[in-house]
Amino acid sequence: MIFNHNEYLNYTLPNNWCAEEDMDNLILYNPIGNGAITTSFFNVLNTQESLDEQISILAKRFIDQNDINLHSPLILFNREGKTILRGTGTTSDGWFIKLWLVAKYPKIVFATYQSEQKSNELRICDSIIDSFHFAF
């Protein structure tokens, strides 16, 4: 099923998944699943830094502030007209976390998924994030 957030982001959810949103966040989850995707939204800053640099800075700040131990370096790539930065790690309390930053000027979508441990649900989360399409 296709959903829309604030008239600029379209995304697809599997039938058994739910979306809850307020002005600042969007939470995507399976009621009988292992974790949830928490999504925040930002505008690209008019600075000297490129879009790649801006999302890298956002990710590093989040990782440092939340004491996340990355499993490997973050991966940055472009696909279907959007820039994506992603990586996995472990929180300070031992939970699995995956983060994605999906950007297309002038918007940045920052999504994280946390669960007690890595599970098959992660494949579904990746497909949801892959479905993000900016409607501009």
pLDDT at 106: 94
Among 1-5, 54-58, 76-80, the minimum mean pLDDT is found in 1-5
Taking the model in full, what pTM does it have? 0.93
CA proximity to 83, closest of 37, 50, 116: 50
- Percent of the chain at pLDDT > 70 equals 100
Mean pLDDT across the chain = 94
- Superfamily for domain range 2-134: Mog1/PsbP, alpha/beta/alpha sandwich (3.40.1000.10)
Write the DSSP assignment of 102-117 as a string of letters: EEETTEEEEEEEEESS
SS3 for 51?
A: helix
26 pLDDT tier (thresholds 50, 70, 90):
very high
* Helices and strands in the chain, H and E counts: 2, 11
Exposed/middle/buried for 117, CB within 10 Å: 0-12, 13-18, 19+? exposed
β-pairing verdict for 9-12 and 96-104: unpaired
The model's pLDDT over 63-105, given as tens digits with 9 standing for 90+, comes to: 999 999 999 999 999 999 999 999 999 999 999 999 999 999 9
